[in-house]
Amino acid sequence: MQEKFMARAIEIARESVDTPGTLPYGAVVVKDGEIIGEGLNRSYANSDPTSHGEVEAIRDACKRLSATSLKGADLYTSGEPCSMCVAAMYQVGIARLFYAGETADSAAFFQRLAAHDPKWARSLNNQQLRQQVGLPVGERDMVSQQMMREDILAVYDAFADRHTS
């Protein structure tokens, strides 16, 4: 059964070969033995760097179920997910991850593309991304500054008051 779901994720990835604006990263979300969401990386087509196959599959599943929780579902993907996708999986409650290609395979794929055309170059590879995301905010390479905390705390309180009364 698991091979069937992985085969579908790879079949979705294969669509990218002839679909402009897509990359070969396909994913499916499975719950109770049924595919409830599918996604293909459409980052270039959508001008959306978050449009990874895993995120698209999660969005599709959530939309189909009219839910924001996929607790207990599995995700099958053609490539080992980046930190953003893993965070999305945790956020919705994905229980198990199955993947085909490794991070190193994806890095080699992008290196091959970038050698032909610099538009394919990545600012960070998956390993560097994982390192940066795992650091406390003040230790990341990205400059960060906290501001107007009291203002947002007042909004949080107003929202909680409205929705818990």
Catalytic residue numbers, as ranges: 54
Measured between alpha carbons, how far is 4 from 76 in angstroms, rounded to an integer? 10
Measured between alpha carbons, how far is 47 from 57 in angstroms, rounded to an integer? 17
Residue closest to 16 by CA, chosen among 25, 6, 4: 25
Phi then psi for residue 93, to 5 deg, are 90, 25
Q: Are 38 and 15 in contact (CB under 8 A)?
A: no
